[in-house]
Chains A and B, each alone.
Chain A
Amino acid sequence: MTEMQVLPAERTQRTYARIAGFLYLFLIVTYMAGVLTLPVMTGSGDFAEIAGKIIASEQLYRIALSSQLITSVGTVLLAFSLYQTLKPVNDDLARMALYWRLGDAFVGGAGTIFSFMSLRLYTHPDYVGPFSTEQLQALVYFTHDAHGVTLDAASLFFTVGSTLFFYLFFKSRYIPRLLSAFGIVASVLAFFMGFASLIYPEYATTIQFGGYPILIAEITTGFWLLCVGVRPQTSVA
């Protein structure tokens, strides 16, 4: 069998593909660590009850918030890695996808500000002045809502970028076409989910199930890129 000579550019592309695979999986872990642990720690109750729970697990709460920030920073690296992997397919589309995913990172990163501020209000309620418990509760709701809105806004950037990246995977056949087609459909579904959450926030709990397909698509793609990698067409015999 003739040995394939792998061009240096192709080697770089394959390396970035594996990095993207790792980051897909790593960022899902960091994102879910925040999303899943925070509600479990706070549970339900009035302002004082929730504040007590948070103070009792403050360190863990802070780690969960920080993991959300790590997700935003990691998204910059993921977007960059995906761009490097897919730019040989169509540089303009890959660059556009990169910009959309960067928008996701920027907006998501900005949104974590509100999470840290709500933590401050719970742990130091006299922090900003003489507010009643009801007013503090209202301020906390404001920060939660603001964070929620930024997440929904970030998801619009994320889903457009994700749709473009999966389209490029589909065109390139770097990953199985079935997987990339699923990724396209899942990304579009997640786009409408994010949009619907902004317009109908009262149905957010139901609407969020629209995010599961993209989660499955990203986990599967992450494993594929990390374990199998990509085989660009430019390898020379």
Chain B
Amino acid sequence: MTARGADFSPQAYARAGGLLYLYIIIAAMFAEVFVRSKLIISGDASTTAANILAHETLFGFGLAADVLNVSVDIGVALILYALLRPVDRNLALLAAWLRVAFDVIYAVCLLFQFVALRILEGGTVDGFDPHQTQGLVLLAMKLHAAGYLVGLVFFGFGLLVLGYLIWKSDYLPRFIGALLLIAGTGYLINSFARFLAPPVADALFPWSLLPGFIAELALCLWLLIKGVNLAKWQERARAA
């Protein structure tokens, strides 16, 4: 299936992209706000382990939502590439690859959540007492968090390219492009602040991530409700 085949419908792609993006936003919020934020207590291994064990099903649902999130996001990357190819095929490809880079790294991070769950299900780890086993669980969850920040660097750069493409396109609103540029910058500031100066990152949180939520929600809803300006998309595709 190619973006220029006779069956290709940019509106259908846009609406599908909006729907998939909506799932991603809901699933990500569920996994982060209702699962990880509630269960994982930074610096408190015992409470974290007890929380996960007491809400094992919820933790499992959060993990499953994240795994599906990664798979769906690859689809979103492909859809956005197909929609923005008429603007600049090369940059659209670059944006897609940067997004897929985030997906791959985040998929690796999810392994650490699996490890945490397996350790707790096993009860103990040979050579470590119960408190230390709980510490290993917290370490696994912190590895997950660190990996998420690493992945967001790729994602942030991808949003910068995506925002530029939407800004340059005639068939999606410029304000969404601008919002994505701000969002990408926010993600990069959040990650590098966390790497270089954690107190600064603490001070900036959650405001450094708020533009990301607003921009991605705006893009999601626009694609779902309005789609693309079909006439302008077709004109751009013919010229490309």
Are A120 and B108 in contact (CB-based, < 8 A)?
no
- The reply on A209 being an interface residue by CB < 8 A is no
Query: How far apart are B88's CB and chain A's nearest CB, in angstroms?
Result: 10
Are A120 and B142 in contact (CB-based, < 8 A)?
yes
**A116 CA to B149 CA, complexed, in Å:** 10
Q: A65-B195, A73-B157, A128-B136 are in contact. Are A110 and B94 (CB under 8 A)?
A: no
Query: How far apart are B201's CB and chain A's nearest CB, in angstroms?
Result: 11
**A63 CA to B193 CA, complexed, in Å:** 11
- The reply on B196 being an interface residue by CB < 8 A is yes
Q: A76-B98, A113-B143, A113-B146 are in contact. Are A130 and B195 (CB under 8 A)?
A: no
Q: How many residues of A contact B (CB 8 A)?
A: 31
B93 touches which one: A66, A80, A130, A131 (CB < 8 A)?
Answer: A80
- The reply on B60 being an interface residue by CB < 8 A is no
A129 touches which one: B90, B138, B197 (CB < 8 A)?
Answer: B138
- The reply on B187 being an interface residue by CB < 8 A is no
Q: A63-B196, A66-B192 are in contact. Are A127 and B142 (CB under 8 A)?
A: yes
B154 touches which one: A80, A109, A117, A129 (CB < 8 A)?
Answer: A109
**A80 CA to B154 CA, complexed, in Å:** 14
Could you give, for residues 52-66 of chain B, a 1 whenever the CB lies within 8 Å of some chain A CB and a 0 otherwise? Answer: 000000000000000
Query: How far apart are A177's CB and chain B's nearest CB, in angstroms?
Result: 28
On chain B, the residues within 8 Å of A69 by CB distance are: 150, 153, 195
Interface of B is mostly: helix
Are B192 and A129 in contact (CB-based, < 8 A)?
no
Select the stretch in B5-13, B72-80, B127-135 that faces chain A.
B127-135
Are A131 and B196 in contact (CB-based, < 8 A)?
no
On chain B, the residues within 8 Å of A114 by CB distance are: 143
Are A135 and B101 in contact (CB-based, < 8 A)?
no
On chain A, the residues within 8 Å of B19 by CB distance are: none
**A59 CA to B132 CA, complexed, in Å:** 29
A117 touches which one: B134, B142, B151 (CB < 8 A)?
Answer: B142
**A102 CA to B96 CA, complexed, in Å:** 12
Residue of A nearest to B103 (CB): A106
Are A109 and B101 in contact (CB-based, < 8 A)?
yes
**A69 CA to B197 CA, complexed, in Å:** 16
**A49 CA to B223 CA, complexed, in Å:** 56
A110 touches which one: B131, B150, B196 (CB < 8 A)?
Answer: B150
Query: How far apart are B77's CB and chain A's nearest CB, in angstroms?
Result: 13
On chain A, the residues within 8 Å of B134 by CB distance are: 129
On chain A, the residues within 8 Å of B93 by CB distance are: 80
Query: How far apart are A205's CB and chain B's nearest CB, in angstroms?
Result: 27
**A38 CA to B139 CA, complexed, in Å:** 23
Of residues A66, A106, A114, which shows the largest number of chain B Cβ atoms within 10 Å of its Cβ? A106
- The reply on A163 being an interface residue by CB < 8 A is no
**A65 CA to B191 CA, complexed, in Å:** 13
Are A112 and B143 in contact (CB-based, < 8 A)?
no
**A135 CA to B131 CA, complexed, in Å:** 13
On chain A, the residues within 8 Å of B101 by CB distance are: 73, 76, 102, 105-106, 109
Which A residues are within 8 Å of any B CB, using their own CB? 12, 59, 62-63, 65-66, 69, 73, 76-77, 80, 84, 102, 105-106, 109-110, 112-114, 116-117, 120, 126-131, 135, 139
Jot down 6 A-B pairs with beta carbons below 8 A, ordered by A. A66-B196, A69-B153, A106-B101, A117-B142, A117-B146, A129-B138
